[in-house]
Amino acid sequence: MNKTLIVLAIILISLVGFSLMNQDRSASTITVQETHTMMQSDTALFLLDVRTPQEWSGSSGHLQGAILIPLQELEERMKELDPHKEKTIIAYCRSGNRSGTAARMLKEHGFKVVNMLGGMIEWNADRLPVVRETGR
């Protein structure tokens, strides 16, 4: 009976440890409204668009002051973000899915990062300001 309790305790401790490790890797989130407010007042902010170049210059536009690094290039271009390590990075994409992945990657590399929920779909639905390429 003691062996069974010891085995169960080890399993329980392992599951709790695994759960805590996974929680630590998840990125925080922010709404589009919170992002908009922060953009107006926070100078220690860095906007990272992880969509494709076609999406960036497409009809949904992009956020003023944002930098484009597509998700598929993020790992190899991570060093470009080192000068912004002390800033809060807001990652965004079309819907919030790819930026969630990007936020987790950045967090694992020691960046302060949040994922903008809803992405450009939500941003445009709320009729918040965007930059659009000339002629669109």
Let me know if 126 is a catalytic residue. Answer: no
User: What whole-number distance in Å separates Cα of residue 106 and Cα of residue 27?
Assistant: 9
Catalytic position from the list 30, 47, 93, 116: 93
For residue 39, give both structure tokens. Answer: 């953009």
Cβ count near 88 (within 10 Å): 17
The string of DSSP codes covering 61-106 is -B-TT-EE--HHHHHHHGGGGGGGTTSEEEEE-SSSHHHHHHHHHH
33 contacts: CB under 8 Å, gap ≥ 6 = 126
Residues annotated catalytic, as ranges? 93
